[in-house]
Amino acid sequence: MYTTPAAAARPAGGLLAWPRRAETWLDGHGRKAWITAMVLGFIFFWPVGLALVAYMTITNRWSRTMFGQSCRTSRHTHWGAQRVHSSSGNSAFDAYKAETLRRLEEEQAAFEGFLNRLREAKDKQEFDAFMEDRSRTAARPVADDRPASDA
């Protein structure tokens, strides 16, 4: 298969790779970089600034916690999600944390099971009430709407 020289010079990922690289670069430099990019977007071409405001709001890039404790750590952990499962270096604390997380997951599963049983009971109660009302309506004789003849 023949590729054009322009296509060969393009980086892997195609045309849409540059926004992902820009996002990664801005994430690596922190919240101030995002705000600077947004302000420059408003200065040079206001729709770009507006688009950055919308994107920052949707992805919660306004918060300080989005970037973790520092810009350097957020580059290596995906917004702090891996930090929960990483080792602290203290084996006793890590064991306690693992046990607590396991217990919380079990409690969450039990609570979700309870909510499901509660929803099923409520649905059954509503369905039984509906069927009872329907059977009462069906058992009533239909009133004749024709006027009685006096003849």
Distance between alpha carbon 12 and the CA centroid of its chain, in Å? 29
CB 37 within 8 A of CB 52: yes
pLDDT confidence of residue 86? 72
Residue 119 is predicted with a pLDDT of: 92
Q: What pLDDT, on the 0 to 100 scale, is given for residue 77?
A: 45
Three-class DSSP category at 147 = coil
Predicted confidence at residue 66, as pLDDT, reads 58
Enter the tokens of residue 143. 């009133």
Query: Which amino acid, 22?
Result: A
- Distance (Å, rounded) from C-alpha 37 to C-alpha 56? 11
What's the pLDDT at 61? 75
Distance CA 97, CA 90 (A): 10
Give per-residue pLDDT as tens, 124-142: 999 999 999 998 888 776 6
**Residue 26 and residue 33 in contact, taking contact as beta carbons nearer than 8 Å:** yes
- pLDDT at position 115, please? 92
Residues of the chain with pLDDT under 70: 1-15, 64-85, 141-151
